[in-house]
Every structure is written in structure tokens, then in C-alpha cells.
A and B are shown apart, each in its own frame.
Chain A
Amino acid sequence: MATRLTQLTPAAAAEPALSKQEVLRYSRHLIMPEVGMDGQLKLKKSRVLMVGCGGLGAPLGLYLAAAGVGRLGIVDFDTVDFTNLQRQVTFGTSDVGRKKLEAARERLANLNPEIQIDAFETRLTSENALDILRDYDIVVDGTDNFPTRYLVNDACVLLGKPNVYGSIFRFEGQASIFGHPGGPCYRCLYPEPPPPGLVPSCAEGGVLGVLPGIIGCIQAMETIKLIIGKGDSLVGRLLLFDAMGMRFRELKLRKNPECPVCGEHPTVTKLIDYAEFCGIRGEEAPTQIAAAIPEITPKQLKQRFDRGDDIYILDVREPHEYQICNLNGHLIPLGELPKRVSELDSSREIVAHCRSGKRSGEAVEFLLKAGFRKISNLKGGILAWSDEVDPSVPKY
């Protein structure tokens, strides 16, 4: 009779077995020669760390738990937000406001109570990364920012652990495996990150909810294949997915012999300050620009309207945003402003707005340089208008 193990102690980890219940649970794996008892036992012994439990982490966690990965670590410090539910399918509406880790642990334990789930409610940093990653065999990167991606990459290379990578943008995705011994790492592909602000985030650019679902599933698939040692992995291959065209393409990834982390003469031998590496220095830079730009708060604008002042509202968002909600402004998307500036009358008082105040800040900066004087930026954008003046205006 097989011994049932609920805790992977070092001695027991050497010889796990499957209980009758586990055999039944995983029967669809066991009846395939590519997996079989061998493969399932490898899954049971495996220790996988998921960095991030959001868009990519949702399907990833679900499928790794379902597959019987014996020990699943999750690193995430975030809280479930209402806007997450469009894609982060581990969570439900009743989880909004809860810590993602708590909600994920509950969901995954319900899906598969046989596995051990380690929760790390912390931001992954240069101080803790090596310690956290050390106990796992494979790391899956489901993060949402460049500094953490470089951190995960470097930590994996330093520790010799494969990093199953996936990333998304709107309706395109990428997947690969970095840091596999002998294979390329993330820095072989991208030695440097883009400067902040150049590549929009999901909040700014949007994302088709199911896209991280597809890429997260691909990451889960690659993780499982690595564990059972079957199939052709994505080591040395960059998989590109175009959801709109429904096309997969593949590019060759080579190990860069001069890579500063995994090359023949590495210069990065310990974890660095990744925020600095990615050029982010707190909030200094943005507020310096904001300070120079004339601003008006939603309450102040409302007072001006109520007084009957003649204010021209310039909306620099995109047409599809105007359809969601608007302040009856004159719509000139930011990208078109240089060409359409003649539509504006510089003798009138103009208040520019966008969704949150960032794009309109750029518009005001541009118009000031173009010689406009009676121009100001609506602080906080239409979101702040909804919060402070008119709650009937939907936020998005």
C-alpha cells in the first residue's frame, strides 16, 4: 500500500509515492506513456516558484496545481482589484479587496489539496530573491514590470535555475525559457530595459483578458515538460504569439558569449539595484515636470463652470475612451495634437484633460511651447472628476 505524503521532508522527497486517491486524480496523466507513474512522481517531487499571481499567474497556478506539482511557491504582495477580474481568473468577485495570495491559496488548495503551497507575501527584491528562489527547482516569471524581470533572470542564472518566461502586451505575447544551464538568459535577448514610459502598461495600453491566459498556459505547459523531461522545450526559442492574426512565430535565441550575467566572463555576479538599472527613481522625475505645468483641480473647474466662466475643454484621449465617458470636451487625441493645433483658439482659456492627467500634462507642455498661455491641466483627469465632482461619471 503506497504511503501517503503530505509534507515533502528531505528524506521523504527522495521516495514519494502516489496514494490511491492521487492515482485516480491523475489518471488521465498516468494512462499516457509520456507521463505515466514516472512522470507523475517527478511532478510530485518538483518544486516550482511562481513570481506573480496575476494575469499570467492565474492560469499558471491553476494548471500547475491541477497537474500535481508537489510544492508550489507563490510570490505576490498585491490585493485583488475589481479591474483584475477581466483576466485574473483565479479570483472571483467576492475576492476583491483580499490579498491575492490568500485568495489564490484557497482556490488552488481547493482544486488540489494534495499539493503544498508556500505563500510569500512580499515584493521580490535583491535582498530576498536568492533566499526565496533557492528551495525551488524551476522559477516561472509572471511579473508585470521590467525591474523584477531582470531581478528574476539574474537570480535564476546565479542559482542555476531555469526561468520559464512569458510576457504580454495587448494582444501579443512572448514565451521562452531562460537561464537553463547552457541556454540563453533574458539579458542575452534584451541587455537593457526600455526607459520608463516608453512601453505602456496594461492599465495604459489595455490587454485582451484571455491573452495572459494563453501565455500563462504555455508557461505551465513548458514547466510540466521540463519536469517530466519530455518534448522540445522553448530553451533557445522565442515564441511570439499574435492573438489577432492567431499566429505563432518563432525566433532563434542564442546565448550571448558576452552576456554580463551568463556569458563567459560575467560582470554581474550578484544582484543589483534593478529600479536604478531600469531608470526608475521614485516619483522625482514626474513631479518635477508636473510642477512646471499649470494645473486646475476638478473642484476648481466645477466652480469656474458654476460661475459661468467661458472655459474650453480639450480632451486628448482616444475616440473609444470618449465613448465611455466625457466632459463634452473637444476631442483631439494626443498623437494628433501637433497636426490639429490650429483647431484651438489661444485667446480662450483652455483646460486639457485625459483619463488620469498624464497625457493631458504632455499636451499642456506641448501647447505652452507652442505659445499658448491660457492653458492648464485637469489634475487627476476624468477619474478625479468622477471621484471629486460627479460620481455618475464611470471610471475605467
Chain B
Amino acid sequence: MPVKVIIPTPLRQFAGKHESVSLEAGTVGDALTALTSQFSDLKKHLYSDDGRLRSFVNVYVNDEDIRYLQREKTAVQQGDTISIVPSIAGGAKA
């Protein structure tokens, strides 16, 4: 199933500057694996060393947070949009 994955601005530099990428996937986990296989630099920004999604990055299927669905096992269908939403604060140097 082709699904659209929206790449947020802070991460576009690690994803070939794409705003969104279309990927074949049956679950959110599959989509993120396909994404990080295509763009290996993205991996460390999305996943910590122990393979878990970083907690300052949220993933949504359409408008629902996957933490309240089945997390990475959440099924996706054609036409679904996966959004990656990292925390941003603007302004001062971190």
C-alpha cells in the first residue's frame, strides 16, 4: 500500500530535502523502516541506540498519535498519511 510520509522541516536535510515521501508499507513500522533504509542519516534522529522511537518525535497516522493506536504495528492503508512531528522551540541556541 503506498502511503505518504510527511517529513518535518528540521529533518528534511536528512531526507534528501523531500517534504514528503511515498512508500510501500503495511504498518507504520514498515514505513519507518523503509524510510530509514532509503535515508540512513534519518535513523539516528528518529531512533535512539536501543532501536526505540525517540520521545521528542511523534508519529501520527492521519490525525491520530500512534501511541494511542498500535504504535509501530498500526496498520496503514492506501491514502493514509504518516506525519512525523518533532518538538520545536525556535529561538535560542540549544
Could you tell me if B93 and A201 are in contact, using CB atoms closer than 8 angstroms?
yes
Could you tell me if A199 and B92 are in contact, using CB atoms closer than 8 angstroms?
no
Q: Does any Cβ of B come within 8 Å of A194's Cβ?
A: yes
Q: Interface centre among A192, A199, A205, by most B CB within 10 Å? A: A199
Query: In the complex, which residue of chain B has the Cβ closest to the Cβ of A148?
Result: B89
Q: Does any Cβ of B come within 8 Å of A182's Cβ?
A: no
With contact pairs A172-B9, A198-B45 given, residues A249 and B90 touching in the complex (Cβ less than 8 Å): no
Could you tell me if A252 and B93 are in contact, using CB atoms closer than 8 angstroms?
no
Q: Does any Cβ of A come within 8 Å of B86's Cβ?
A: yes
Q: Does any Cβ of B come within 8 Å of A281's Cβ?
A: no
Number of interface residues of B (CB under 8 A): 27
- Pick the contact of B87: A193, A201, A212, A240 (CB < 8 A): A193
Could you tell me if A252 and B83 are in contact, using CB atoms closer than 8 angstroms?
no
What separation, in Å, do the CA atoms of A249 and B6 have in the docked complex? 12
Task: Tell me the B31-79 residues at the A interface (CB within 8 Å).
Answer: 45, 54-56, 58, 60, 63-65, 67-68
Q: How would residues 1 to 29 of chain B score, 1 for a CB under 8 Å from any chain A CB and 0 otherwise?
A: 00000001110010000010000000000
Q: Does any Cβ of B come within 8 Å of A179's Cβ?
A: no
Residues of A within 8 A of B54 (CB): 192, 194
- Besides A201-B92, A205-B10, 6 other A-B contacts (C-beta < 8 A): A56-B90, A143-B89, A193-B56, A199-B89, A201-B93, A251-B64
Query: What residues of chain B have their CB less than 8 Å away from a CB belonging to chain A?
Result: 8-10, 13, 19, 45, 54-56, 58, 60, 63-65, 67-68, 83, 85-94
8 contacts between A and B (CB under 8 A): A169-B88, A172-B9, A189-B87, A190-B55, A196-B94, A203-B93, A207-B90, A280-B94
